[in-house]
Structure 1
Amino acid sequence: MDYIPILVLVISFIGLLAIGTPVAWSITISSVLTMLVSIPALPAFTTVAQRLGAGLDSFALLAIPFFVLSGQLMNKGGIAHRLIAFAKTIVGSLPGGLALINVIAAMLMGAIAGSAMASASAMGSILGPEMEKEGYSKEFGAAVNITSATTGLIIPPSNVLIVYSLASGGVSIAALFLAGYVPGILTGLLLMLVASFWAKKKNYKIGERSPLSQVFKTFINAFPSLLLLFIVIGGIVTGVFTATEASAIAVLYTLILGFVYKEIGFKDIPQILLDSTATTAVVMLLIGASMSMSWVMSFENIPQNISDVLLGISNNKVVVLLIINLILLFVGIFMDMTPAVLIFTPIFLPVVTALGMDPVHFGIIMVLNLCIGLCTPPVGSVLFVGVGVAQTTIEKVIKPLLPLFLAMVLALFLVTYFPELTLWLPGLFDL
């Protein structure tokens, strides 16, 4: 086995990140340096540049800018307020009611908007002050908001699952979307359990029970927003339209909804488009760079070599999955989710498929695992958004965050070793 390409790739990539080079450029430069091991400079530069462009030549990727735009429209369109009001009538009277409202609203908002950062920003700014007013500590509120925001990346529609479909060579997006429901809801329920226990321990105030008439009223107000889930997922699963077409329908629907709610005007459209374009540009650059690195790794036989090493350690599925999960948990601390999915899917997918694992199941495991990394320093984007919105510090949030971390790790363990949790829904629809 030739270890030189692996060493060049790993050392150069980590070294570039350590000196503060942006992730996309760290990926691209380390890919070029790895190619220089095998071929001359001009072909190496040309090949990486070519693969960077070719990596973006995919019809499925068109869904990402549309879902980003629909997420921006939802964030500005008053949807968060209606979802919070609905969640409040359901769980507001339970121990830690406001924390539970945060989790449920984040699950709904994340599922509709498909963005953990949008969810953390919206929930933190709306619920944060209300939780403080009711006697909750600022740090506990931030911790609940940060962890619950990530559930929207597992519950569809999810841009990350689309990226995994691309990286895995075409795993069904419809199957991935359906597979994300049970793990996402399970994670949310475990977070609610921990939040409720913590709130009871701290004697936080319990809200009043809402009458059925109020529950019905808030449901009717939130129903147009919730209907988007059925339109998008229902259309994809039944084959009425593709994920890309569904994303365009989501944009049109949320735009109309924003005007109906009178939360969006024509004057807001240019800024929304500008924000969406900036977010899309960052994501697409990361995807292109990561796809070029994946190709370089394939050219240098790096995935095959790593696969041989892992299977050489053990051919026991339980042990191999434990090793992969530990590696991904470590990777998630230092790398953003999109490049991590694109780089490590070609490495680990052959290993798990050799052990008989379904690629859909592994996709959910990978995304759920990397969601934990979004809540950890030094590059946890959701952590920084949640802390910033709450106007507190990472050091103060860590203590209430730890039990919620453990809930997410437990969810990861259950999803990893009980594939029925993931594959039940896709199997129901023969996907």
Structure 2
Amino acid sequence: MDPSALAGLILLVGIIIGIASSVPIAVVIGLSAFLAAIPLLGLEQAALVSAQQVFSGINSFPLLAIPLFVLAGVIMNNGGIAGRLVDAAKVVTGRMPASMAQTNVVANGLFGSVSGAAVASAAAVGTVMGPRMAQEGYDRRFGAAVNIASAPAGMLIPPSNTFIVYALVSGSSIAALFMAGLVPGLLWVLACMIVVYLHARRRPGRLRTDERVSLTQALVVLWRATPSLLMIVIVVGGILTGFFTATESASIAVVYCLVLSAIYRSIRFTDLPQILVDAGRTTAIVMLLVGVSTVLAFVMSFARMPEVISGFVLGLTDSDVVILLLMMIVLLAIGTFMDPTPAILIFVPIFLPIVQEFGIDPVHFGVMVVMNLSLGVITPPVGNVLFVGARVARLRIEPVISRLWAFFVALLVALFLVVFVPQFSLWLPTFLGLIN
């Protein structure tokens, strides 16, 4: 058998068997890539090249932004910032039907945009909002579904670690991707709010709150939340103006969160070791995935797999609509059992040359990929936000899933709009001169 074909077969079989056996995804990718490299390079050379690729994959200055943003998110999660953002969201949604559920959605959008992590948002906002919603008579399953469905908005609203990973693979501008994700992220929030509104319409009077906030109280609440929200302005504004890079902005975010938490007196000096350990664990997982995925990308490139797959797909159809639909289906399926980071590292090098053949902008494609995979984090069997949200609500997964279907439908509609109306993604970075 041709060495390239044998390498492809080893990769495919190794990944399928590894995932089916519940082996950690980093081990599956790394081991499969190493074994696939053997028929191409020989055992000794495969071992040497694999080690070199792991090191070169994580030896990246832009990639340093991820552990720093992770650390900033952990500090915020422990620093009392979630409660202030929830109170600010309550001011915005206080007079809406099902106002507490709407507050949950808006708070997830705010906290997600500050932390850039869907899991952190689901845990922090769910912990604050769950008891409040239960106290006002909300079904706990619906409350958990609202929290779970709205948490991934932070994967699209800048700053986003997922876009940094995509930028690393595709060579796209991080600033352009950040701005391209803003409108789709807001569209995600709006889709969830519409579902909550329709849910409230079927229960008139039951999901309203008698709590009203005066103008003075609203101004006080918004003033207390302003320092937290300013971090977005500082980080994103600095990147857009070219005052500092994404990595430098991440380090500024860490310092800003530490100062803010010290002012709020919500973190003690003795809490810092555990915060660093938590951030280190998350960072280690991400960096290991990036390292082993670099080996996989090298093997695939060496065996010319992307070109073969691209030629096969382009031979099936000459319609960009069909191509995008096929990729949506594949990415939605992948997202149900694979985290966004390894999915981007594995599949973007395969799909990106195909979409570029049809003239699709890599920034628009990046938003499409991230939004597809964001649905995966709330979908069984491996949706980590689904599991975290259910655990925070102290519920099993099965009853929560039954309340998530309406959100899935609304978010799929939003996804179709983003995929087939490129201006949802491209008008803002184009207006700002980040792309032509």
State the TM-score, normalized to the length of structure 2. Answer: 0.97
Greater Cα shift, 341-350 or 89-98: 89-98
Which residue identity does 1:13 align to in structure 2? I
Q: Which 5+ residue runs of structure 2 have no aligned equivalent?
A: none
Question: 2:88 maps to what in 1?
Answer: 86
Matches within 5 A, 1:362-373: 362-373=365-376
CA contact (8 A) 1:97 1:196 kept: no
Question: 1:165 maps to what in 2?
Answer: 167
Question: 2:98 maps to what in 1?
Answer: 96
Three-state SS of the structure 2 residue aligned to 1:55 is: helix
Q: In the TM superposition, what is the alpha-carbon distance from 1:197 to its structure 2 partner?
A: 0.9
Alpha-carbon separation, structure 2, partners of 1:199 and 1:359: 39
Three-state SS of the structure 2 residue aligned to 1:391 is: coil
Are 1:131 and 2:117 an aligned pair? no
Q: In the TM superposition, what is the alpha-carbon distance from 1:3 to its structure 2 partner?
A: 4.3
Matches within 5 A, 1:288-327: 288-327=291-330
Three-state SS of the structure 1 residue aligned to 2:278 is: helix
CA contact (8 A) 1:106 1:148 kept: yes
CA contact (8 A) 2:136 2:209 kept: no
Q: Which 5+ residue runs of structure 1 have no aligned equivalent?
A: none
Alpha-carbon separation, structure 2, partners of 1:129 and 1:291: 43
Alpha-carbon separation, structure 1, partners of 2:257 and 2:321: 43
Are 1:421 and 2:433 an aligned pair? no
Q: 1:261 to 1:38 in 2, by over 3 A?
A: same
Are 1:241 and 2:244 an aligned pair? yes
Are 1:386 and 2:389 an aligned pair? yes
Question: 1:359 maps to what in 2?
Answer: 362
CA contact (8 A) 2:100 2:133 kept: yes
Question: 2:182 maps to what in 1?
Answer: 181
Alpha-carbon separation, structure 1, partners of 2:119 and 2:418: 24
Question: 1:190 maps to what in 2?
Answer: 191
Question: 2:254 maps to what in 1?
Answer: 251
Three-state SS of the structure 2 residue aligned to 1:334 is: coil
Q: In the TM superposition, what is the alpha-carbon distance from 1:265 to its structure 2 partner?
A: 1.4
User: Of 135, 141, 144, which aligns to 1:142?
Assistant: 144
Question: 2:31 maps to what in 1?
Answer: 29
Alpha-carbon separation, structure 2, partners of 1:365 and 1:71: 24
Alpha-carbon separation, structure 2, partners of 1:88 and 1:391: 24
CA contact (8 A) 1:99 1:196 kept: no
The number of residues matched between the two structures is: 430
Q: In the TM superposition, what is the alpha-carbon distance from 1:242 to its structure 2 partner?
A: 0.3
Q: In the TM superposition, what is the alpha-carbon distance from 1:4 to its structure 2 partner?
A: 3.6
Three-state SS of the structure 2 residue aligned to 1:264 is: coil
Alpha-carbon separation, structure 2, partners of 1:30 and 1:96: 49
Which residue identity does 1:11 align to in structure 2? V
Alpha-carbon separation, structure 2, partners of 1:51 and 1:211: 59
Are 1:116 and 2:121 an aligned pair? no
Which residue identity does 1:121 align to in structure 2? A
Question: 1:395 maps to what in 2?
Answer: 398
Q: 1:260 to 1:344 in 2, by over 3 A?
A: same
CA contact (8 A) 1:117 1:385 kept: yes
Alpha-carbon separation, structure 2, partners of 1:200 and 1:141: 16
Q: In the TM superposition, what is the alpha-carbon distance from 1:10 to its structure 2 partner?
A: 1.4
Q: In the TM superposition, what is the alpha-carbon distance from 1:285 to its structure 2 partner?
A: 0.5
Which residue identity does 2:45 align to in structure 1? P
Three-state SS of the structure 1 residue aligned to 2:208 is: coil
Which residue identity does 2:222 align to in structure 1? F
Question: 2:54 maps to what in 1?
Answer: 52
Which residue identity does 1:146 align to in structure 2? I
Greater Cα shift, 34-43 or 223-232: 34-43
CA contact (8 A) 1:107 1:151 kept: yes
CA contact (8 A) 1:124 1:386 kept: yes
Question: 1:282 maps to what in 2?
Answer: 285
Deviations 1:319-365 (A, max 9, x none): 10000010000110111110001111100000111100111100010
Question: 2:346 maps to what in 1?
Answer: 343
Alpha-carbon separation, structure 2, partners of 1:378 and 1:7: 26
Three-state SS of the structure 1 residue aligned to 2:34 is: helix
CA contact (8 A) 1:92 1:206 kept: no
Are 1:231 and 2:223 an aligned pair? no
> What value does the CA root-mean-square deviation take over the aligned residues?
1.2
Alpha-carbon separation, structure 2, partners of 1:385 and 1:202: 28
Q: In the TM superposition, what is the alpha-carbon distance from 1:393 to its structure 2 partner?
A: 1.0
Are 1:106 and 2:108 an aligned pair? yes
Alpha-carbon separation, structure 2, partners of 1:53 and 1:146: 35
Alpha-carbon separation, structure 2, partners of 1:40 and 1:292: 15
Alpha-carbon separation, structure 2, partners of 1:92 and 1:404: 22
Alpha-carbon separation, structure 1, partners of 2:397 and 2:201: 24
Alpha-carbon separation, structure 1, partners of 2:288 and 2:197: 41
Alpha-carbon separation, structure 2, partners of 1:211 and 1:92: 11
Which residue identity does 1:95 align to in structure 2? P
User: Of 12, 15, 34, which aligns to 1:13?
Assistant: 15
Three-state SS of the structure 1 residue aligned to 2:40 is: coil
Question: 1:156 maps to what in 2?
Answer: 158
Which residue identity does 2:433 align to in structure 1? D
Three-state SS of the structure 2 residue aligned to 1:34 is: helix
Matches within 5 A, 1:268-279: 268-279=271-282
User: Of 407, 410, 413, which aligns to 1:407?
Assistant: 410
